[in-house]
Chain A
Amino acid sequence: RPDVIQPGYEPGTVVTDAVPQTTAPLGSPSEAEVEETLKRIQTHKGVIGTIVVNAEGIPIRTTLDNSTTVQYAGLLHQLTMKARSTVRDIDPQNDLTFLRIRSKKHEIMVAPDKEYLLIVIQNPSE
């Protein structure tokens, strides 16, 4: 911090009030945020793969190869349906929001929805 006002600074200077707004490079800002977040997730420590599939099982975004993706998507879809059915059977007003499966080697995290499935496989010990 300066101890005295520097001679170069003129007290009468008016500072413009326009604060530049960060604009996203593609489409709406929220879409860019979504892409950014997805990319960040993929680069986190220990993340083995990230998969986004739609309701039909078609992969929308994936970092794994196609066969693995399809396998994960199919199996987890069924498991998610079963889990959701379990939750709702107990209380129909409740609904499943997140599913985590911890195994010896890694952890599979699923965020289910009617339209899509977001799957991340992470190895926490890495």
Chain B
Amino acid sequence: MSTTKAKLKKPTLKVTPSSRVMNVSTSGVLRVNHSSTYARSINASVSRKSFSLAADSKILDKSSVQTPKHTVQVFDENGKDVTPQPLYQPDPAAVMSKHSKIFASDTSGGTMSDFYSTAYQTTTNASFAGPFTRSVFGSSTVSRGSQSTMESMNEEIEDPSSKRDVSISLSDVQVRREEVKELIKEEMLDEVVDRYLIESETLWLLHMPAVSVSVDSEEAESVKERNNLYMELCKNRMGNDKYVERSMQTFNGAPKTKEVQCEAITMVDAATTATTWDMYDSFRSAGLGEAALSPDTDKASGPEIVSNHRLDPTRAPERTMSVISTTSIASASSSRIEMEPFVVPSEDEPDPELIMQSEKFQQDLFVMERVILENIYQPKLAAYRQLPTLEDPDIVPKVVPTVVSRREESSLDEESTLTPALERLWSFSCELTSGHNVSSMAWNKRNPDLLAVGYGQFDFKDQKSGLICCWSLKNPTWPERVFTCESGVTTLDFSASNASQLAVGMHDGSIATYNVESREKTPVIDSSDCAHKHTSPVWQVRWIDHERGASGEDKGETLISVSADGRISKWFLRKGLDCIGPVLPQSLKVVGNLSITLTSPCSQGPLYRITWSPFCSDVFLSCSSDWTIQLWRQDLFTPVLGFTSTQSAVYDVMWSPKWATVFGAVNEGRVEIWDLGASILDPTIVSLASPGVKLTSLLFATETDCILVGDSDGQVSVYQLKNLTVGEGTQVDALDDIIGSTLASQL
């Protein structure tokens, strides 16, 4: 009595011999019988039937129960469920009665009882077959046939061949019917269809016999007679010997109370919030496969995504414990755990250290530091970027102590707001750099917020080890990169093509390049192995961009260095730096600012710097230790103009990148900004250095009106040029005019 479900992948059904069910395949037409021991339904239009053979005779008796369950499911080749639904449910009551009549003598069971009964049933219930009245005929023939075969079948039930006979005979019948049906389909619309209506047997649904009878009916007399007799009887009953009254008493058992107690059923409310991201995470992790999920995770609470830097696998059970605990907390979010106050202390030791070592933590610290500094330096940075500085409404304004330069200006009350001045914004310094002398500064070519500062002594005596710090504007208190060098750094330059490459020239003549992107502390390449390296301090290194490759292979940038030993070398960047000897600086001056130690008749001391004007390509400035700054033109051998302000060596001079007539100069004690358009005799702005500190280098900021001044104490101070009105445009014409007029006046 097994219920079978035959799943069809192909139209043919599988034969399961154990259950003795013979399911014959259907073709295309999605009509298959539900075969089961209990199923009685038949789809009348099925061509070939599948029928189940009940194993027991008991089935017959039980077959009264019509349970059309445990049906066969049919799937066509696409896996779609095409199981047909029964057209009608057989009426259990009707079948039962007929059924018992037919098979009263049949005890051998295992017959096509199901099939026959239904076949018979179809005839009886023809009216319920609905539109398939044609099938009624078919079924009637079937029933006839079935009845005829039934007798012959009673003895041959177990015989498979006979079954087949039956099936064949039946199928013949069925085929006929099926054919008929097919025809209908094709020409259904055109044919005239005959319908025959037959009155079915009356079905009694409810029969309540009447209690009273009409006076006119035939039974009236007899009923009345009976009534009278009864009344007589009742009258005679009193005192009649035939009737005796007796009373009885039944014993009631003594009631006994019995108590039962069960454990309290605790009810817990659990709620969870399914947020959009929670579903997204679950979906993603489910898509990633089970391997991604922690095996202990309680699925009800939502799978927990294994993070990339999951610290310790042994902590997983602890986490899941806490995860599970959340589900028992009412209205808990299904994602992250609540804080678990009790943690096994032995596991604490490695854990915090792992956090401290994780890269993400480092990154977060980095960002946090910058955020804090941004809070502190926000007004200064805003001034640097030439944004309006807003007053914080929560901050109570305090008196800010003025800096040296400011004190000078504040003495001139009304004009202090209008005279050009330098306002000190902040300074780059930290404990690493204190005591070092700033020798050179360079901006990064790609990121204008990045500044490289080289520290090294100018004099030969007390040579400390050199230092290179890469500072970012976003953190003036600590450099982003620190490189230490053996000897003092004298010059720096960032490459333009490879923005993270920094070339460094040192006091001992060696040259190195660093990659500032990496955290490596060592130079990428070094000139120490080169046989032709410089033997005296390198004054300047510069990356020169070659538009045309001289020897065909250098189409990018090359590194040029100038040293005090009188050589200008061009370096190849291979495994080590290798130079190709002295190079004549013909094309160099067009692009770069190169410092050449000239001895010219008009300057008594060595020149510290020569810088070409960014606007007029044949004009350059020089500054030297003879307290003068001189303006030259390329074709003239005498300086056009000379500027002197104080009696101290001028260490650095630089043209302003914004105005052709403005340049800045740094001597020992002060910073001077000259505006040739305003005056060629005096500097426009003068700013004194703090006492005891010598100012050693100067750099203009490229996009804002700020200058950076390095001093001998390792500080790089940022000043903003205020109220410097130069006029429209770059003032190139003004410079030309000045030079022209000067030359004219000299003649």
Binding site for B on A (CB under 8 A): 1-3, 5-6, 8-9, 11-17, 19-22, 28, 30-31, 33-35, 37-38, 40-41, 44-47, 52, 54-58, 60-61, 73-74, 77, 81, 85, 88-89, 92-93, 98, 100, 104-105, 107, 109, 111, 113-116, 118, 120, 122, 124-125
Inside 8 A of B247's CB, which chain A residues have their CB? none
* Cβ B357 vs Cβ A30 within 8 A: yes
Contacts of B605 in A (CB 8 A): 3
Q: In the complex, A100→B368 CA distance in Å?
A: 10
Please tell me if the beta carbons of A17 and B375 are within 8 angstroms of each other in the complex. Answer: no
Known: A11-B535, A100-B371. A77 touches B339 (CB 8 A): yes
A-B contact pairs, 16 of them (CB 8 A): A9-B460, A13-B535, A15-B508, A15-B509, A17-B510, A17-B529, A19-B522, A19-B526, A20-B484, A40-B369, A54-B351, A55-B336, A92-B276, A105-B394, A113-B360, A124-B395
Number of residues of chain B lying within 8 A (CB) of chain A: 77
The yes or no answer to B478 lying at the interface (CB within 8 A) is: yes
A2 touching B460 by the CB < 8 A rule?
yes
In the complex, the answer to whether A98 meets B367 with C-beta atoms within 8 Å is yes
What 1/0 flags go to B532-555 for Cβ under 8 Å of A? 000111010000000000000000
Q: How far does the alpha carbon of A8 sit from the alpha carbon of B536 in the complex, in Å?
A: 12
Q: Which residues on A sit within 8 Å (CB–CB) of B340?
A: 56-57
Are the C-beta atoms of A88 and B395 separated by less than 8 Å?
no
Which chain B positions have C-beta within 8 A of A116?
Answer: 355, 361
Which B residues contact A (CB, under 8 angstroms)? 275-277, 279-281, 307, 309, 311, 322, 333, 335-337, 339-341, 343, 348, 351-352, 355-362, 364-369, 371-373, 375-376, 378, 392, 394-396, 458-460, 477-478, 482-487, 490, 508-510, 512, 521-523, 526, 528-529, 535-537, 539, 564-565, 605-606, 608, 625
Please give the distance in Å from A39's CB to the nearest CB on chain B. Answer: 10
B477 touches A40 (CB 8 A): yes
Residues in B with CB closer than 8 Å to A45 are 376
B460 touches A60 (CB 8 A): no
Set of chain A residues within 8 Å of B483, measured between Cβ atoms:
19
Check A41 against B606 for contact (C-beta < 8 Å).
no
Also in contact, A40 and B478, with CB within 8 A (given A20-B484, A58-B343): yes
Whether B458 contacts A1 by the Cβ 8 Å rule is yes
Residues of chain A contacted by B482 (CB below 8 angstroms): 22
Of the residues A58, A85, A124, contact of B277 by C-beta under 8 Å:
A85
Interface residue from A47, A74, A124 paired with B339 (Cβ < 8 Å) = A74
- B residues near A125, Cβ cutoff 8 Å: 392, 394-396
Residues of B close to A41: CB separation below 8 A: 365, 368-369, 372
- Minimum Cβ distance to chain B for residue A122 (Å): 6
A113 and B625: CB pair below 8 A?
A: no
The answer to whether B528 and A17 touch across the interface, beta carbons within 8 angstroms, is yes
Taking CB atoms, residues of chain A closer than 8 Å to B279 are: 92
- The interface residues of chain B lying within 8 Å CB-to-CB of A6 are 460
Give Cα A122–Cα B377 distance, bound, in whole angstroms. 13
Chain B residues lying within 8 Å of A55, measured Cβ to Cβ, are: 336-337
Q: Verify B364–A15 contact, CB threshold 8 A.
A: no
Does the CB pair B355–A11 fall under 8 Å?
no
A35-B364 Cα distance, complex, nearest whole Å: 13
Q: Which of B280, B352, B392 contacts A92 (CB 8 A)?
A: B280
Question: A16 vs B465: C-alpha distance in the bound complex, in angstroms?
Answer: 13
Contact indicator B485/A19 (Cβ below 8 Å): yes
Are A9 and B536 in contact (CB-based, < 8 A)?
Answer: yes
**Closest Cβ of chain B: how far from A102's Cβ, in Å?**
8
